[in-house]
Structure 1
Amino acid sequence: MKRKKVIVIIGVMMTMVAKTTMAQEAQNPVGNNPFGLVYAGAITENKKGEVNLHPVSYARNGIEVVANVYIPPNFNDTQSYPAVVVAHPNGGVKEQVAGLYAQRLAELGYVAIVADAAYQGGSGGTPRNVDTPTNRTEDIHAMADFISQFKGVDSSNIGLFGICGGGGYALKAAQTDKRFKAVATLSMFNSGVVRKNGFMNSQVGTIQERLEQASMARAQEAAGGEVLYAADGPIPTAEEQLAKVPYDLYREGYVYYGKTHAHPNSTFRYTLSSLMELMAFDASANMDLINQPLLMMAGSSADTYYMTDEAFRKATNAQSREQFLIDGATHIETYWKPDYVNQAVDKLKSFFNENLPKTQKDEL
């Protein structure tokens, strides 16, 4: 079937390109990591007395999901450890920023799990790159299902940490899943609102037109026709074009995802039909259902900060809540820049130590 014309979605996460900065370029790990990890300081082999990584897989509603479980130094599966579920950004995979933070959490004594979303990355599911809130939220519930059965994990002692789009879905999952005893986000991105309105309301005038296109794309899929994708087109590469990209999020996002921390399983196209669900989703809705302790972190210079602020203000029933700003950081810099990552990890350490019951981690 002939491909139909599709509006390119400005709000798609990280599809713009930018001039690479030398500082971020230097973070690109050298060589091929045997675990496929692409962040600086990543584990290259499992050693006694250090954080170890275990690739695992499990079924989620008939779909095979692949995940990495990071276990603390000197892990003893006859004892009881707290765990943290980590949700990756839109278009990202477990080998990038989510893996970095999972590794750092394991260094603190937590068992941490990060999985590729179903239909994305190395996980199964067709058509490829379906990206809906229902799926992403269910991925988080399924990670909790798996890690709660992992030998050595205290199933009553599980935290949740979401990054970027994964942060928005973490908020949604925590609203109903009370297995999560504490919830944290970093650089939260409200995927549905951006898909509907465009980043910073840049596409409000085309909402109905794009919904019409998404509806037609679903009809085409149902009839056995070609699957249509958003953000499926050439990306400008000339520096003069890159300089015109108006948002730090997208300029720096290409550097991170397209160059310094690129991974072959990471892609930012998604089925156009996904917009039918995405555009009706708001990560900040029903925040009053969150009664767990809540930490929301963002860079003070992030052009996405307004999303964290809005959701945080609505979390009126959280047992405790704190908004933590990383001074000077942009959205993407919280993914890789050592000083900013260290600040976020230090805050996560104090937050989870305070709000997850004290167990084996205190002896590590």
Structure 2
Amino acid sequence: MAKFQTVQFKARHFNLAGKLVFPDDFDQDTAQKMPVPALVITHPTSADMNQTSTIYATKLAEQGFLSLIFDAAYQGQSEGEPRFIEDPANRTEDIMYAIDYLDTLSYVDGDRIGALGICAGGGYTINAAKVDKRIKAVAGVAAASAGGAYREAFGPDQQLIETLNNIAQQRTIEARGGEAMMGQWIPNSQAEREAAGIDDIDIVEAVDYYKTPRGADEFSPNKVRYTSLALLLGYDPLNLVDKLLTQPLELIIGDKPGSFGSYRFGFDVYNQAASTQKDLLVLHGISHYDLYDQPKAVDPAVEQLTKFFNKYL
């Protein structure tokens, strides 16, 4: 079981919304005398903390871990205007602000903080760990590079440049008072997906997760500000992992690859990371979205994460 406490904590110019997730038997008085390790858990793009982050935080609480989950800046229940921005720099620093907040809690041992990210949250977690050495152990579940996925989605280099030119024009329109352009992360239904001729496993399963009662949440409305896609297209969490990613590292992926690229990204990070203590767990017959909420994937992932964080925190 787990207990939840709603919190707000400071980012640079506004507050982020989060929840502390405690083991059911957590005793704050005891922990103040002997502070405990804590985890920061970061959600995917298009998601919020109520979805797969809550699943992992709850299951890790059952294993004795205290976690902080939160909504990204400009999204969900967190503050920040304009809304629906996906900015890799902000997403990375959100994790660092979450650690700042944990460092203010008398019952948290600031020398034993771990970080876990799911999907693009895994890429952002790796990005943060490169430069924030308060993160003592780094884990990614179906970790992915949002930048890499979008660069491939927009096609060859010339098409990428055309897309960036279109985004530049839209920024000018909005700077001059024109209406903001909103996009969507995924099709809003399987019928919409089929009409678009998309049959990639990750997109099929994303629609099933986000747009049905399986994973739908009011704070995850499938909206993204079009101009922020330029920020994603220039983002690469693999950059400098061979020099800067030195902490113990755990990567968990499924072997049914799709367009989000978590299978390949897992191998790339594992092979390139400077970490001397690193592990890559490949779950057979498992897809990217199985690792969000399906027991056949989540249970072995949590078992591995428990061993990893117990060892290095």
Question: Which structure dedicates a bigger proportion of its chain to strand?
Answer: 2
2:270 paired residue number: 312
Deviation of 1:205 (Å): 4.5
2:182 counterpart (215, 223, 229): 229
After TM superposition, list the pairs within 5 Å mapping 1:187-226 onto structure 2.
Answer: 187-198=142-153, 202=155, 204-226=157-179
What residue in structure 2 maps to residue 275 of structure 1?
A: 229
Residues 242 and 251 in structure 1, CA contact (< 8 A), matched pair in contact too:
no
TM superposition shift of 1:196: 2.2
Q: Unmatched 5+ residue regions in structure 2?
A: none
Counterpart of 1:67 in structure 2 is 18
**Mean Cα displacement is larger for which, 201-210 or 246-255?**
201-210
Alpha-carbon contact 2:122-2:142 (below 8 Å) kept: yes
Instruction: State the Cα distance separating 1:217 from its structure 2 match.
Output: 2.0
Residue equivalent to 1:42 = none
Deviation at 1:124, TM superposition (A): 1.1
Partner residue in 2 for 1:330: 287
Alpha-carbon distance in structure 2 between the residues aligned to 1:102 and 1:63: 25
1:285 partner letter: N
Report the CA distance between 1:197 and its aligned residue. 2.6
How far is 1:230 from its partner?
A: 2.7
CA separation in 2, counterparts of 1:266 and 1:240? Answer: 18
Shifted more, 239-248 versus 168-177: the winner is 239-248
Secondary structure of the residue aligned to 1:117 is coil
Aligned equivalents of 2:211, 2:189: Cα separation in 1: 12
Output the CA distance in 2 between the equivalents of 1:343 and 1:93. 23
What SS class does the counterpart of residue 157 from structure 1 fall into? strand
- Alpha-carbon distance in structure 2 between the residues aligned to 1:94 and 1:210: 30
Aligned 1:1-364 pairs, distance under 5 A: 50-78=1-29, 79=31, 80-198=35-153, 202=155, 204-231=157-184, 235=188, 237-238=190-191, 241=194, 244-259=197-212, 260-288=214-242, 289-303=244-258, 304=261, 305-315=263-273, 317-356=274-313
Paired residue type of 2:14: I
CA distance in 1, matches of 2:265, 2:67: 26
1:14 is matched with none
Q: Which runs of 5+ in 1 are unaligned?
A: 1-49, 357-364
Q: 1:72 to 1:193 in 2, by over 3 A?
A: same
For normalisation by structure 1, the TM-score amounts to 0.79
Give aligned pairs, total: 304
Q: Secondary structure at the match of 2:286?
A: coil
Conserved in 1, the CA contact under 8 Å of 2:189 and 2:211? no
Q: From the two aligned structures, give the one with the greater helix fraction.
A: 2
Question: Offset of 1:232 from its aligned partner?
Answer: 8.0
Aligned partners of 2:192, 2:170: CA distance in 1, in Å?
34
Q: Using CA pairs below 8 Å that are at least 6 residues apart, which structure has the higher relative contact order?
A: 1
8 Å CA contact 1:86, 1:160 repeated in 2: yes
The one-letter code matched in structure 1 to 2:284 is D
Is the Cα contact below 8 Å between 2:48 and 2:76 reproduced in 1? yes
The alignment's TM-score, normalised by the length of structure 2, stands at 0.92
Once residues 255 and 262 of structure 1 are traced to their aligned partners in structure 2, the CA distance between those partners, rounded to angstroms, is 9
Q: Note the aligned Cα RMSD (angstroms).
A: 2.0
* Structure 1 pair 241–349 and aligned structure 2 pair: CA distance change class (3 A): same
Cα shift readout 1:184-212 (whole Å, capped 9, x = no counterpart): 001111111222231xx745441011101
